Structure formats: structure tokens, C-alpha cells
Chain A
């Protein structure tokens, strides 16, 4: 294990590499290392940001595009969690439930979610329902199997200790099983949110009239690679932000993670 580095060091090193990347990127454009039109420079991307922030892009404002993408990702994620956590818990506690649902979850998990998209659009239309449904299908098997694994790995002695202290099944679930499984469930949630987020963009690329994915797709048809790069930057930052949000919630709530 390498020694811990301080918060200040982390900030410094992170800024150095980001600055380096931006400088390199600008240099590639300024010195015409790439044919013009293939790579917008940082300055052009900033200009595009200012323009789109003011006037929107092809009829939708930047806020609407970001909001549409976020809402779809979070909506699908929430549906996946609401279905996946209880199923995972049930599978973890009941071997019949586990045997019954296992194949379906294991079948869904490795499937590329986009392979469902066409079917979902046929059934649910090209609107948000199909996209949210797709993201729910993306998040659900990840969350269900993480929750199942979490419950399976709860140390048996903790349950036995609670039983011999007089706890009933409901109390054991509430006071032992759930908190013991929480760290791993939370990890599963973060993985699922990342998956939902990357899928929403792909879904918007294929169909839609708003959202960051749509913005990127539409820009590519007009060879506006400043807008494409802007869309990618915003997506990356949003993804980072969401992950940081979940991570700090995890650190705040699950103080016992990794500590016995």
C-alpha cells in the first residue's frame, strides 16, 4: 500500500494534469497538428459554451438538455433501485427466491442495454418512458446482484448473536442484516448509476429531441465538433459530480464501512 497523500497534494496533482491536458489540447489546435475542423480548441469550446448557454442549441436551452439527461438517468436509476434492492434482499434471505430469480438476473446483467432500446421504443414509444425503462433495465440487475451478494456476505455470527440476544426476524432484518449489507449495496448503487448515466447518453444518441446525448448526435451531423466536445465535457463533469455526491453520502451515512 502506498502512503496516503494529503488533500492539498491531491488538488495540486489533479490540477496539474488537467491543466497539462488542456494546454496540450490547445497546442494541438494552435500548431495545426490536426487538420482544421477535426478538433476544436479549448477556446472554441468555451465560445460554444457561452453561445449555447445564452441562446440554446437548436431550440432547447443548455439547462433543458442537462436537466433532461439527468432526470432520465436518475429516474431510471431510481426505478432500478426500487425494484433491485428489495429483490436482492429477498433473494439473499430466501433460497427459493434466489433460485427462482437468479437466472433472470444473471441473464440480464451482461446484456448491452441498448439492445433492448428498439423493442422498448416499439412498445413504449420514442419518448421518455422508453428511455427511463431502458435505464431501469440497466440499473436493476446490477443493483439486485450487488444487494444479493451483500446479504450473502453478512457474517453468520452477527445474525446468531442477534438471535441469541432475543431479536426476532424483523428486528434482525432492520438492525443487523440491512446495516451489515449497506456498504456493498451502496457500492452497487454507484456502479448502477454510472451505467445508467452512460446508457442514457447512448439512448439519446439513437432517438430524441433533447438531452446532452441528442445535442452531441445532432452536432455531429453538422460537424460542429466544438459542440460535440462541449457535450462530452459536460457529461464527464456531471458523471463525476453524481459519483462524488453518492460517495459523500456513503461516507457520511456508512461510517462503519470497512471497519470491524
Chain B
């Protein structure tokens, strides 16, 4: 059984003690030093603790993805520094799993080989590789498809496979860039529930980018609202539902007065900014 990580230290505000992930003055300018330079991200400070589920919302092109890519190690910040557990991020690494909006699977490999890609590349013992593939394919309901190829799966199943692939590597941090953006509403809600389950049981740290305020309020322990380009952080709002809704139905949570009120508050921030 994969190791379940440190227990969550929950506080009423949803903020844990020591910062685990830290963006310190991180700014990104594309084409810096050229006449075509575009500022994508204003200098940004953001820190959060282990086990948090941080949801970033904001208008299109606001630098959400740019921010995430600096943590993933795909994009060096123009200024500032990103660190995880006190260590500066210098490139991609297996302790930071990534799930993209497009599943980005390997269609030349079977479903099982996709799920086990990380453990196989890292040379973990065969038995461990098999165990993880089995565990995570069961968790996302794809075990019976293990010998198929990704192109034989539906869009929702492909995205579940991408999540299983990231989780089978047991990253400390999971970075998700609009992972459910391409899915239909029903599949999307099921995926939200499934992800919520996994996060609750595993206690990993998640940085989750979404266009959907509804999704952010349901999943996040904290919602980070960003402004239009060049992006900066407008507000950080703790959200209680991720930790409350142990056995509640997703529909019930989303219909509750508290949920609607918080969703409206976040929407107001986004709209208010855009009206200016």
C-alpha cells in the first residue's frame, strides 16, 4: 500500500503552520530584454503549507499557468525564486507531479504502462511498480482497461489516467492546470468528487488552476484570486468545504447557503477587478 503521508494539521482558517511551497517575488516576462517583452506575471509572493489544496482562479491569460509552470520547473522565473521545503526549484522533478488540461498521455504505451511510467523511469523495484499501477488504476476505475491503449478511452477516462499516472509516482505536490476543463459537466463533477476523495485520504499538497469558481470553492482549502495580465494576487480566501465535507454529497455541498455565499464573494472579486 502506498505510504499515506503526514497527517494534516488542520486549523479553522485552513492555514497550516510552516510554509512548504514558497513563491518569493516571482515574476515572469516573456521575451525579457526584447522590444516584444510581455509581462505575464507581476512579482508575486505566495506561500502555503503541506497538505493544502490551493485553487487559483482568475481571467484567461492572467498568468495562472505561468505561476504553476515556475513551480513545475518548466519555466524559470525572470526574477524571484520558487522553493519547496526550503529547496530552490531548478527544474522539473518527480516530487512535483503535473496534470495538464490535455491528458498528454503516451499513446504508444498501454494504460498500465502509462500509469506506471514514473515508477518505471525511476527504476523502482518491479513489485512496487506493479503494486502502484494496480492500486491507482483501481482507484480511478481503469483497472479493467489496463491492457488497452489511451486512444481507446473516453476523454474523462484519459484524464483519470493522467491523474493516476501522476499519483502513481507519489509526488509530494500535485500541480493541476485546468485538469477538468475539457470535460462535460457531469464527468467534471464526478472527477471533482474523486479528486477530493484522493486528496482527503492521501493528504498531499495540491496547486489547482481552474476557470470554475464553483470547482475552486468545492475543492480548495484556500482560493487565490488573480488579476488580469500581468497577473498579481488580488485576494486569498480560505475555504472550509474541502475539509468539512467528509461524507456529504457534492450536490448538497454546492447547494448550501454557505457555499453559494463564498462562491458569490469570489465571483464578485473577479468581476469587480474586471470592471475597473
Contact = CB atoms under 8 A, between A and B. Distances in A.
Nearest to A163: B92
A260 B151 contact: yes
B73 interface: yes
Given A256-B149, A256-B151, A164 B97 contact: yes
A259 interface: yes
A160 B92 contact: yes
A163 to B, nearest CB: 4
A179 B106 CA distance: 9
A155 B101 CA distance: 13
A255 B73 CA distance: 32
12 contacts: A160-B92, A160-B98, A162-B106, A163-B73, A164-B92, A165-B118, A168-B121, A171-B121, A175-B106, A180-B108, A182-B108, A260-B107
A162 B149 contact: no
A163 B169 CA distance: 12
A194 interface: no
A166 B175 CA distance: 15
A163 B89 CA distance: 14
Contacts of A164: 72-73, 92-94, 96-98, 166, 175
B122 A256 contact: no
A259 B151 contact: yes
Nearest to B171: A164
B117 interface: yes
Contacts of B108: 179-180, 182, 255-256
Interface of A: 155, 157-158, 160-168, 171, 175-176, 179-180, 182, 255-256, 259-260
B74 interface: yes
B100 A157 contact: yes
Interface residues of B, number: 28
Nearest to A178: B108
B102 interface: yes
B104 A155 contact: yes
Contacts of A158: 104, 106
Nearest to A161: B104
Contacts of B165: 161, 165
Contacts of B98: 160-161, 164
B141 to A, nearest CB: 21
Nearest to A179: B108
Contact of A165 (B100, B107, B117): B117
Given A165-B94, A165-B165, A259 B107 contact: yes
A158 B74 CA distance: 12
Contacts of B117: 162, 165, 167, 175
A166 B169 CA distance: 9
B73, B91, B100, B106, most chain A CB atoms within 10 A: B106
Contacts of A168: 121
Contacts of B93: 164, 166
B171 to A, nearest CB: 8
